[in-house]
Amino acid sequence: MSKHDVRMRGFLRRTPVPVLLSRIEQHCPPLPAEVTSVTEAWGRVLAETLTAPVDVPHFNRAAMDGFAVRGEETFGASAYNPIPLQVVGQSLPGKPFAGEVSAGTAVRIMTGAPLPQGADAVLMAELAEAVGDSIQVAEAVPPEKHVGKIGEDVRSGALLFRQGRCLRPQDVGMLSSVGIPEVAVIRKPTVELLITGSELLAPGTQPSGVQIVDSDSVMLRSLVKRDSGNLLGIQHLPDDREPLRKALLESTAEVVIVTGGTSVGLEDHAPTLLSELGELLVHGIPMRPAAPMGFGLLGERKVFLLPGNPVSCFCAYDCFVARALRLLGGRNPDWPYATQTVRLKTKISSQIGRIEYVRLRLDDDGAEVLASGGASILSSTTQADAFFLTEEESEGIAAGETISVWRYD
């Protein structure tokens, strides 16, 4: 029996969580870049720093509907002393006025249209009264008023975004506005799910006899997408050694996630297989749930062994696999959850030497621990509003204390 075979013997030694996190960080640097169209760049992480190749706008344009005029010619205008100007044409977005605004003339103009040559201001439509082919100007408008000037939005050569920025919808809009057609972004890590368990039925079926419906793959599919992983596929495997060996060897994903078969039972083959085929860096951590999880390498591939119990699976993924995917994708590795400071209405019990993943229900009076917190009770996460992790050296937290929690939403 190998030193990694803990089946029916239990975990004699567990890897501290900080050590596991450091190993994940060590083996999960950002992936190489790829080029993508700006239309597909939302949510991607820039692999380069970008500057503006042009001015935006690159021509002077109207910021209001009205009339393009020479501002000085309107000085002294009032409702009691209107100044007449002859309207000689119009300027529309994409259809500029071809002539020039000369003395005593104006051009009807729409918002966003190019300012005609000779004009330096836009008179708002409500400040002019149309009389035949002329207008009566009832209020003065100074030069440059209501004009969007060249480079007012972005100057050519200006810094747009630094390397490492996760592009938001308005960011890709900006990139398009300056004429950037494609950008270099960090490649999304590829992921494959190997769901083991002879007792599992396919998602969408009804529980029957002594079999249960697989929930882990449905949950993990959503989480991998949240963390910008590129899911290549999902395999459902029995609790047999050879099918799992074959799947591990044939996988082409950069991150392989195995669920089930990771603990110390007779049918828990994943840890010994990984130690034989590659390198098992971690197996067993002082955390409840998620204690039987493992992490290792199979060549360049990162392999995570997650417990099959759904809450353990969820906790292990969220605390460790999610961090790896975000690191590989060049993202902020921290949780994408908002935090909230709350007062405990019930105590949190903990054991020194172990981290507890505590599910909490929140209301206006504070937070209470959900009584049912077992590793297989998935409803403890659906009924919870937030979660909290105790410190490894903590004996618990008394009711009435104030803590910072992470909200699931």
Secondary structure (DSSP) of 54-104: S-BSSS-EESSSEEEE-GGGGTT--SSS-EEEEEEEEEBTTB---SB--TT
| 12 within some domain | no
Is the same domain home to 182 and 297?
no
Phi, psi of 358 (to 5 degrees): -100, 125
For residue 355, the domain's CATH number is 2.40.340.10
Is the same domain home to 104 and 142?
yes
CA distance 333 to 227: 10
- pLDDT the model gives residue 8: 39
| 8 within some domain | no
Is the same domain home to 104 and 238?
no
User: What's the chain's length in residues?
Assistant: 409
| 333 within some domain | no
Phi, psi of 230 (to 5 degrees): -100, 100
Is the same domain home to 115 and 157?
no
For residue 160, the domain's CATH number is 3.90.105.10
Q: H helices of 299-404, where?
A: 310-316, 322-328, 379-382
Give the CA dihedral 77, 81, 86, 90, nearest 10 degrees.
Answer: 50
Helix 270-277 / helix 241-250 crossing angle, nearest 10 deg: 40
Nearest to 314 by CA among 278, 337, 348, 289: 289
Boundary residue ending a domain (89, 122, 148): 148
Is the same domain home to 113 and 169?
no
Is the same domain home to 50 and 171?
yes
Boundary residue ending a domain (299, 328, 357): 328
Query: For residue 372, what are the CA distances in angstroms to 216, 256, 376?
Result: 19, 31, 10
- pLDDT the model gives residue 362: 96
| 319 within some domain | yes
| 3 within some domain | no
| 9 within some domain | no
Domain that holds residue 241: 17-32+187-328
328: amino acid identity, one letter: L
Q: Count CB-CB contacts under 10 A for residue 406.
A: 16
Is the same domain home to 280 and 354?
no
| 5 within some domain | no
Phi, psi of 281 (to 5 degrees): -85, -35
- pLDDT the model gives residue 6: 47
Nearest to 54 by CA among 139, 160, 142, 135: 160
Q: What is the pLDDT along the chain (409 residues), one digit of tens a residue?
A: 445 554 434 556 789 999 999 999 999 999 999 999 999 999 999 999 999 999 999 999 999 999 999 999 999 999 999 999 999 999 999 999 999 999 999 999 999 999 999 999 999 999 999 999 999 999 999 999 999 999 999 999 999 999 999 999 999 999 999 999 999 999 999 999 999 998 888 898 888 888 888 999 999 999 999 999 999 999 999 989 999 999 999 999 999 999 998 866 666 789 999 999 999 999 999 999 999 999 999 999 999 999 999 999 999 999 999 999 999 999 999 999 999 999 999 999 999 999 999 999 999 999 999 976 666 788 888 899 999 999 999 999 999 999 999 999 8
Is the same domain home to 281 and 380?
no
H-helix or E-strand spanning residue 224:
helix 216-226
Boundary residue ending a domain (288, 306, 328): 328
Could you tell me if 206 and 270 are in contact, meaning their C-beta atoms sit under 8 angstroms apart?
no
Whole-model pTM: value is: 0.86
Residue with tokens 């075979």: 5
| 7 within some domain | no
User: Exposed, middle or buried, 8 (CB in 10 Å: 0-12/13-18/19+)?
Assistant: exposed
- Total number of domains constituting the chain: 4
Per-residue DSSP letters for 92-125? BTTB---SB--TTEEEEE-TTPBPPBT--EEEEG
Is the same domain home to 270 and 143?
no
Question: 118 — alpha (psi -120 to 50), left (phi > 0) or beta?
Answer: left
